[in-house]
Amino acid sequence: MSKYLKPEDAEGWLCARCNLPLVMKPAKIEYLGNAFPVDVPMCPSCGQVFIPEKLALGKMAEVEQALEDK
């Protein structure tokens, strides 16, 4: 689904609520009425999503700018 993150990007992270290791799972990210499927580190129990800095400042920032420029 996503080519921006690798499974190892979830390694070493724990859910603050459940104290379980995060795993890569698909999530739907929405911005300005547009939805994008992305594999992100997520808690297998509660579904809390972690957005790594390289995704937030990289591809997500590019998409945000492109949508705002429309």
Could you tell me the residue ranges of all domains in the chain?
Answer: 7-69
Q: What is the pTM of this model?
A: 0.68
pLDDT tops 60 at residue 1 = no
User: Exposure of 22 by Cβ count < 10 A (0-12 exposed, 13-18 middle, 19+ buried)?
Assistant: buried
What does each C-alpha distance from 61 to 8, 15, 31 come to in angstroms?
A: 22, 24, 11
- Confidence class for position 46, pLDDT limits 50, 70, 90: very high
> Which CATH code fits 7-69?
3.10.20
pLDDT tops 90 at residue 65 = no
Q: What is the largest CA-CA distance in the chain?
A: 41
